[in-house]
Amino acid sequence: MSSDKEKKIIVLSFITAFTLSIYILEMFIPKPLPFMKIGLSNVMIVYMLFSNMPYEALIVTLAKTLVGGFVTGTLFNPTTLMSLNGGLLAYLFMIFFMKTKINFSVIGISIIGSVMHNMGQLLTVNLFVIKNQKILYLFPLLLILALATGLFTGYSAFLLLKHLNLRSLYEKTDF
């Protein structure tokens, strides 16, 4: 029988593969704007944070972005850098706000993550791609989009938390 650590790696691999699949499949969903994605794979990140799996959520965030960039052929493209910076900024802010004395809901944390993801992407474009302050004029539009997508992903994570307990599977040692 394999060790507990190996079993956790197996479960985390499945979670990562599932999240990565969602990340890649989302590319085929029609977008009203060329740069707009719903962020369906972020449902799993929020779910993991609320399942007390913060380190695992960081691993999945990095893996879905880097492996997703590799699989889609955009690894050395600015979009992967934008996604990576947005994902890391969102992760840091979600962790920070979860640790405050304010008891944010799943939806609230998801909206914070969505807003910060868009901010990270916008700042990355401003600093490395376009290098023009006028790109920041997109902020109000991106804020509205982040509120909508954050609400959707947060509610999805809320439903997932109600009906699925991956933490117990992750901690289970006899499979």
Which of residues 131 and 87 earns the better pLDDT score? 87
Residue 73 backbone phi and psi in degrees, to 5:
80, 20
In this prediction, residue 133 carries a pLDDT of 85
- pTM for the full predicted model: 0.90
For residue 93, which of 46, 40, 30, 131 has the smallest C-alpha distance? 46
Q: pLDDT by residue (tens digit) across 78-130?
A: 889 999 999 999 999 999 999 998 999 999 999 999 999 999 999 998 888 88
- Answer yes or no: are the C-beta atoms of 125 and 100 closer than 8 Å: no
Q: Which uninterrupted H or E stretch holds 121?
A: helix 106-124
State the average pLDDT for the chain.
Answer: 89
N-to-C CA span, the chain: 9
Which whole number is the average pLDDT over 126-139?
86
Domains and CATH numbers, the chain: 4-171 (1.10.1760.20)
- Answer yes or no: are the C-beta atoms of 152 and 38 closer than 8 Å: yes
